[in-house]
Amino acid sequence: MPHRQSRRGLLAAVLSGALLISGLSFATTNAAVAAVPADAAAASVPVDAAAASTAVPALASVPAANASDFDPGNIISDANFFNGNAMSAGAVQNFLNAQVSSCRSGYTCLKDYTQSTYSRPSDAMCNSYSGTANESAATIIAKVGQACNVSQSVLIVLLQKEQSLITDSWPSQSQYNSATGFACPDTAPCDAEYTGFYNQVYKAAWQYKRYSNPPGTSAFFNWFPVGKYSNVRYHPNAACGSSPVLIQNQATAGLYYYTPYQPNAVAMSNVYGGQSDGCSSYGNRNFWRLYTDWFGDPRGVNNPNGAFDTAVPVAAGIQVTGWAVDPASSNPVGVTITVDGQATAATADVRLDWIPILYPSAGPNHGFSAIVGGGPGTHTVCVSKSNGTDLGCKTVSVPNTTAMGYLDVADGVVGGVHISGWSLNKAAGGQTYIWVDVDGSGQAFKVDKLLSWTPVLYPNVGNLHGFDRIVSASPGTHRICVYGYASVLLACKTAYVPANEVGAVESVTTTLGAITVSGWSLDKRYTVPTYVWVDVDGSGKAVYAADNSETAGSAWPPNGKRHGFTTTIAAKPGNHQVCVYGTLENTSYGCRTVTVQNNEVGSFDTATGVFGGVNVSGWSLDQTKADSTYVWVTIDGGGGGAIWAGGRLNWIEAMFPGKGPKHGFSGFFPASAGVHNVCVIGTSENVSYGCKQVTVPSTGAASWDTLTASDQQINLTGWAVDRKSSDAKYVWVTVDGVGGPYMAGKGLPWIDAYFPGVGSRHGFDISLKAAAGVHTVCVIATFDNQDLGCRTVDVPSTGATSIDSVTGVSGGVRITGWSVDRNSTATTYIWVNIDGVGTPIAAASKLDWINAYFPGVGSNHGIDTTLPARSGSHQVCITATFDNRNMGCTTVTVP
């Protein structure tokens, strides 16, 4: 898919840290970035693969991208491209922060950009996306990469290649609207249907996956076949010629489908500059160069068929994970794990569903996860394939602990995950618990199964140290981590919970004014019929699946045949999306687009933002008559109004003989400054002619400059102005969601020079009372509702509190510690909740050291109180009442 050049073109090359590539595993880093002249060399340096994803390493100078390393048939490896876990949201955010130290006043850089996203269902290309209000750009990039299994590093490079958004300190809205260049051909304007940052990032990742023709789609993309030569042009102008390129992998093919040109020799003569021979294209060259500068060799030459992903300390030693594939065979690959030179054999046969994307004939069972011995201390762990290929080494520190245990099983079963294993404290035989974390949320369970062998191996600890239970989990893929005594990790595993619901849509047909849908659906656990939900354009109904279905009977014989359904739903003329879901687990049986014939036709041609509103134009007619009709225009779902489609368009008669020329429409509708969604509908049959997003220009400008805190006070400064008026404007300031208007009327001498004629009184300097603690402050310029963003500030407190111990004793819960107001001798209190029931406790016990540590407050500020509680387990939560600071929660056992 060809693309247009960005607004200002690619910015100057940048210096940055690179990720050390290890198969499909990246260690993400930040780097300070400096702009350099276009003819200067940019540099990147590999860093330790074990570095934390939020670390900011020091940079060293290394050679920049070298044109001799560019291979037009192998621009990037599949392993690096199709890796949805390349970077976490935090790592992406840190990377964006490092590229732009500060944004130009009045602009929002990508590191600060937020957008509310909407949910998308899963399909053959991507898993489902759960929409959230005000998601950061970093979160959107991370979540899209995970949903579509496309590397976040690739998406970052694409955003820079297309619109320079990564390094731009003053990006325009149009850059965000066409962020990845999706549906923006070289020869036509961008398609308004795909505008917006979130939409652009998602659709680009979705499209890269679609290029691979995954199961459930057609083999439409076939003109850049992997493993064969294809003629790739140098430029949109065919006269510039082409040359054959051996496309060596799916990722490179995808880059050419997206941007179907290779760089010529002139473009490669200076990879950090632009040449003007009239036949040079830079898109794929720039992709390769940016990836090389920021993330290292995009071809991942070190480990093309395997990766050593993690080495983490666990109770029984060290858990080692990764993957290994022999491209010539679907059989599992053996790996050798060495710890300080001591070798252990393992087999890469753990299920990883992404493997077939990269190796279609290999099957999914090519991951490895093994626990190998490693006592307390620092160890060097290395992994190699059975053929001798080195997958790398990592350093891991194993703590000294009395916790022992093992997660033997973590398998998906109907309704959840079956886990079993053992956990104990070598130093004592008391009751212990495990904490089971499923996809980041967890709960505690008793370790209470008899194991006859534990007293033999660990004398004096008893034999109640096993666990065997099913933890609830929805159908799908889940990450299971189990922690034993003292929160020591036993292991993490991936479990695949099977679906209970299965079915299919067999046909979707249309008749005049209606759509008929048929298929089957059943619950694999029962023979009784179930329901499906048939949805047409977002509205639907439940349908009882109790008809006889030979297909259902053949698919699941024990469940019988009474699982078919057929229903007819009224539908107006036009295109409709029909989706069918099983109601038991909301299982998608797929969506199809069908067309119910209509008489009304037309086009919404233009929507242009001007001062004060929007101009629209197009045409509409009813094919059954020559009379002019009306269209209805809406702005953001309301406003707008009707326009008579009676303007003369001479070409209409040629396309629709006998209907006459008077079917054009044009008009103006008032609208406030900002981005608006404009839609046009024909009034005869309510046929939608589509929607366009348009920006109405504003005369307003504003900036939020500073945010500071002092004792019980928040201070913020900035300015707001209407370029066409000297009147003072207002800003709306909220603190933790509660706000009010404040005039921007402070004198700022520079304002009139920057905006001639508006005068100088347009600044604001606001002080607000606030309690101690962290607060969220948001500012909006009310003239044009320009969102100046939200920031957090910590108002200091004169209070200090420490909870030293919370223990179960005979008859209750004993709490010790201290609480003090640094500026007073007065007694302070803590609030203690035991299982949700609260009690205040005075900090009034004598502690001789307090007055020495906080001079002048006296010594009576200690806490040593026992609150009554029944025998058993209790949750205790404590709050310091002086400044409402949360002191945390803990679980104690009263004997």
pLDDT tens digits for 656-699? 999 999 999 999 999 888 899 999 999 988 889 999 999 998 88
pLDDT single digits (tens) 244-253: 999 999 999 9
Of 41-50, 144-153, 548-557, where does mean pLDDT reach its minimum? Answer: 41-50
Q: What is the pLDDT of residue 520?
A: 97
Question: Where residue 304 falls among pLDDT bands split at 50, 70, 90?
Answer: low
Residue range 138-150: average pLDDT?
95
Q: Is residue 323 pLDDT above 50, yes or no?
A: yes
Q: What is the pLDDT of residue 106?
A: 87
Residue range 88-97: average pLDDT?
87
Q: How far apart are CA 59 and CA 671, in angstroms?
A: 50
Residue range 453-466: average pLDDT?
92
Q: How far apart are CA 154 and CA 83, in angstroms?
A: 9
Mean confidence (pLDDT) of the chain: 87
Q: Is residue 41 pLDDT above 70, yes or no?
A: no
Q: What is the pLDDT of residue 43?
A: 24
Q: What is the DSSP letter of 542?
A: E
User: How large a percentage of the chain has pLDDT more than 90?
Assistant: 66
Q: Are strands 539-545 and 530-536 parallel, antiparallel or unpaired?
A: antiparallel
Is the pLDDT higher at 352 or at 813? Answer: 813
Q: Is residue 378 pLDDT above 80, yes or no?
A: yes
User: How large a percentage of the chain has pLDDT more than 70?
Assistant: 92
Q: How far apart are CA 540 and CA 580, in angstroms?
A: 9
Looking at this protein, which amino acid is placed at residue 502? Answer: V
Task: Name residues whose C-beta falls within 8 Å of residue 511's C-beta, 6 or more positions apart in sequence.
Answer: none
Is the pLDDT higher at 209 or at 67? Answer: 209
Which H or E element spans position 834? strand 828-834
Of 101-105, 228-232, 387-391, where does mean pLDDT reach its minimum? Answer: 387-391
Q: How far apart are CA 336 and CA 355, in angstroms?
A: 20
Looking at this protein, which amino acid is placed at residue 137? Answer: A
Looking at this protein, which amino acid is placed at residue 265? Answer: A
Q: Is residue 50 pLDDT above 70, yes or no?
A: no
Q: Are strands 16-18 and 44-46 parallel, antiparallel or unpaired?
A: parallel
Exposed e or buried b per residue across 308-328, where buried means at least 16 C-beta atoms within 10 angstroms of its C-beta: bbbbbbbbbbbbbbbbbbbee
Q: What is the pLDDT of residue 300?
A: 63
Of 89-103, 802-816, 847-861, where does mean pLDDT reach its minimum? Answer: 89-103
Q: What is the pLDDT of residue 186?
A: 64
Task: Name residues whose C-beta falls within 8 Å of residue 88's C-beta, 6 or more positions apart in sequence.
Answer: 28, 53, 142
Question: Where residue 599 falls among pLDDT bands split at 50, 70, 90?
Answer: confident
Q: How far apart are CA 198 and CA 116, in angstroms?
A: 8
Q: Cβ atoms within 10 A of the Cβ of 478, count?
A: 20
Helix crossing, 137-148 with 152-163: angle to 10°?
Answer: 120
Q: Could you please report the per-residue DSSP string of 34-56?
A: -B--TTSPP-EEE--TTS-TT--
Phi first, then psi: what are they for 633, rounded to 5°? Answer: -110, 130
Measuring CA to CA, how many Å separate 113 from each of 162, 195, 198, 750? 17, 16, 11, 28
Query: Residue 665 in contact with residue 620, Cβ under 8 Å?
Result: yes
Q: Is residue 9 pLDDT above 50, yes or no?
A: no
Q: How far apart are CA 416 and CA 622, in angstroms?
A: 56
Question: Where residue 741 falls among pLDDT bands split at 50, 70, 90?
Answer: very high
Is the pLDDT higher at 528 or at 7? Answer: 528
* 149 CB-side CA count, 13 A: 22
Nearest in space to 92 (alpha carbons), one of 34, 159, 47: 159
Residue range 166-185: average pLDDT?
91
Q: How far apart are CA 508 and CA 565, in angstroms?
A: 12
Q: How far apart are CA 497 and CA 425, in angstroms?
A: 31
Q: What is the pLDDT of residue 185?
A: 76
Question: Where residue 780 falls among pLDDT bands split at 50, 70, 90?
Answer: very high
Q: Are strands 600-610 and 647-648 parallel, antiparallel or unpaired?
A: unpaired
Q: What is the DSSP letter of 701?
A: E
